[in-house]
Amino acid sequence: MSKTSRRKFIQSAVALGAAGCVSKAMDSTAVDPTKEADTLAPLEPITPADQFFVTSSTLPPDDEWVASWRLQISGLDGDDVFLSLEELQSFDAEEIEHTLECISNSSPYAISNGIWTGIRFKTLLESFSASHAHTHIQMYCGEGYSTSLPVDVIDDGMALVWALNGEALSRSHGQPVRVLVPGRFGMKNPKWIEEIEMTSSPTLGYWEARGWSNTAYCLLHSWIHAPAPGGTISQGGGDLIGSAFCGSIGISKVEISDDEGESWQECEITYPGGANVWTLWRFRWSPSVTGMHTLMVRATNDEGLIQEDGPPSDTELDGYEALHRIALYVE
């Protein structure tokens, strides 16, 4: 069966079985979003690969698919290009620090940051003098997933990567190769990529056809990672730690409020991150009274945009918009 025929067959099978597919397929080493925050590993600038969050539309491709993998680039002005993993790795690679966040992220559990090894797609096209006259890219993956983006993402830094934090990608993270797209939520950074097709029009991919955003631009977000919500601390106070992220725009400030937004106190930036890389922060909270307190966090990006509060449930399916809150008891 040809790759194109196989792709159409898998897409049909996935569509028929969509009601039973796994929307968040967590491997045994991934963060479990049902657990309290105190089970998270210490928040480090670079997330260890075995703690990197995992979200998938279904289960990964099998061993046979990985063993026979080749990348097909189609829709060029000329013949299609086919590359094995070894051929792809023969080009000059670079290390890319890049944060991934799930579009359905309503807590600090589905955002992670890593150092990826790979090649910019623009560099790859230039290396074999490939040209095209199309406006969009359609990406197809080994388990039947697909998504589409404007060709502008090539100049923005779209990359093909095969390693995370110096180690070959695990199966759950996209072995052998996945795509990174700056400024977009994880659904536009597909795993198990097998074909990239240049086209003249956008199409709806797996999640887009189910109502999720077709642009999936990262929103301005900030999170309290620790302490655990519902925990108890002494009146002497303690440290809060967390992250902030705004896709291709860096973060200039993070603030904490313990009075439902009546006043805000600035946090210490412990890892400045930058474009496409999260910012980490710390805040020493010293409550003046005992009892239950609600803390909330907000961020300001490098363009001066201040994160605003939104509804706790997102009906537009384009990303969570409410400020993150946790309740702590002071004794």
Q: Please say if the pLDDT value at position 321 is more than 60.
A: yes
Q: Does any domain span residue 216?
A: no
Q: Domain of 326: which CATH number?
A: 2.60.40.650
**135 and 190 inside one domain:** yes
Looking at 165, 183, 210, the residue that finishes a domain is: 210
pLDDT > 80? residue 38: no
145 belongs to a structural domain: yes
At 129, is the pLDDT very low, low, confident or very high (cuts 50, 70, 90)? confident
Could you tell me which residues are beta bridge partners of residue 180?
A: 159
Q: Are residues 184 and 62 in the same domain?
A: yes
Instruction: Identify whether residues 61 and 20 lie together within a single domain.
Output: yes
Does the pLDDT of residue 27 top 50, yes or no? no
What the block records as the tokens of 283 is 């805040």
**Is 64 exposed, middle or buried (CB count within 10 Å of its CB: 0-12, 13-18, 19+)?**
exposed
Let me know whether 148 and 244 are in one domain.
no
Residue 87 lies inside a defined structural domain of this protein: yes
* Span 251-267, average pLDDT: 97
Structural domains in the chain (count): 2
In this predicted model, what pLDDT tens digit does every residue of 135-176 receive, in sequence order? 999 999 999 999 999 999 999 999 999 999 999 999 999 999
User: Does 303 lie in the same domain as 170?
Assistant: no
Phi/psi for 171 (5° steps) reads -60, -40
Examine the domain organization and report whether 201 and 302 are in the same domain.
Answer: no
Q: Residue 215 domain-assigned?
A: no
Q: Which residue, 186, 210, 234, sits at the end of a domain? A: 210
Does one domain contain both 289 and 198? no
Question: Which pLDDT band holds residue 33 (cuts at 50, 70, 90)?
Answer: very low
Quick one: 34 and 104 in the same domain? yes
Query: What is the C-alpha separation between 14 and 143, in angstroms, rounded?
Result: 8
Residue 232 lies in a domain: yes
Residues 204, 265, single domain; the answer is no
pLDDT surpassing 60 at residue 15: no
Own/partner pairs for 266-273, CB < 8 Å, 24+ apart?
267/240, 267/297, 270/241, 271/45, 273/45, 273/99, 273/113, 273/245
Q: What is the reported pLDDT for 107? A: 86
Report whether 185 contacts 103 (CB < 8 A): yes
| CATH (domain of 131) | 3.90.420.10
Looking at the domain assignment, is residue 320 inside a domain?
yes
Say whether both 180 and 246 belong to one domain.
Answer: no
- State how far the Cα of 242 lies from the Cα of 258, in Å rounded to an integer: 15
**Which of the listed residues 210, 234, 256 is the one where a domain comes to its end?**
210
C-alpha Rg value of the chain to the nearest Å: 21
Assess whether 190 and 242 both reside in one domain. no
- pLDDT at residue 128, rounded to an integer: 85
Q: Are residues 245 and 287 in the same domain?
A: yes
Q: What is the mean pLDDT of the chain?
A: 87
Range of the domain at 301: 221-330
